[in-house]
Amino acid sequence: MKKWMFVISIFAAIFVLGACGNEAKETAKGTQSETDAASETAAKEEDAASLQLLKDKAVGEYLTDSEGKALYYFKNDVSGKSNCTGDCLAKWPPFTEKEFEVPDGFNKKDFGTITREDTGAEQVTYKGYPLYYFVNDKKEGDVNGQGVKDVWFIVNSETVFQ
C-alpha cells in the first residue's frame, strides 16, 4: 500500500509540475507577443521621417525634411493644385514623403496630399499648398530658393497663403 501511495504521489507531483510548466510557457508566449508588437510599433515610428525646423540668420525658422533640406511653396499654386509643371518641376521637385512626424509648432492635420495632374504622383501639402525642394539646395541648411522670382518661399509655422 505504501508503494501505491508513493507512485500516486509521484504522478500527482509530475502532473502539477507539468501543468505549471505549460502555464509558464503560455505566459511567456503572451509576453513575447506583446514585446514583439511593441518593438514593431517603435520600429515603425523610427522609420517615419521627422520634419524639422532649422534656423537661418536671414530667413529665420523654416521647415525641412528629415535630412535638413528646406521645403518651399509656390505663390502661384492654389490650395489643392500645383501650377509647377514641366521645366518648373526640374528645378522645384515635389516633396513626396509618405510617413513623417511634424515638429513642435505644427499640426499634423495641416499636412495632406494632392495627386499631381501631370504625373499622377502624390505630393505633400501644407494647409492645402504643395511643398517642393529647390535643386540648388545641396546640403542641410541651404535656403537658396527663398524669394526666387518673388514667388518661391520657405515654409514655417507662420506661413500665410494668399
User: What's the pTM?
Assistant: 0.71
Domain contains 160: no
CA distance linking residue 20 with residue 10, whole number of Å: 15
Q: pLDDT tens across 79-95, in order?
A: 999 999 999 999 999 99
Per-residue pLDDT of the chain (162 residues; tens, 9 = 90+): 566 555 566 655 565 555 555 544 444 445 555 555 544 544 444 456 899 999 999 899 999 999 999 999 999 999 999 999 999 999 999 999 999 999 999 999 999 999 999 999 999 999 999 999 999 999 999 999 999 999 999 998 888 876
Q: Which of 57, 118, 124 shows the shortest CA–CA distance to 97?
A: 124
For residues 21 and 74, state if they share a domain.
Answer: no
For residues 63 and 43, state if they share a domain.
Answer: no
CA distance linking residue 143 with residue 139, whole number of Å: 9
Q: Which of 48, 50, 55 shows the shortest CA–CA distance to 156?
A: 55
For residues 143 and 100, state if they share a domain.
Answer: yes
CA distance linking residue 132 with residue 147, whole number of Å: 14
For residues 84 and 16, state if they share a domain.
Answer: no
Listed residues 47, 64, 81: the one ending a domain: 47
Q: Which of 161, 139, 148 shows the shortest CA–CA distance to 54?
A: 139
CA distance linking residue 102 with residue 112, whole number of Å: 12
Cell 510599433 belongs to: 41
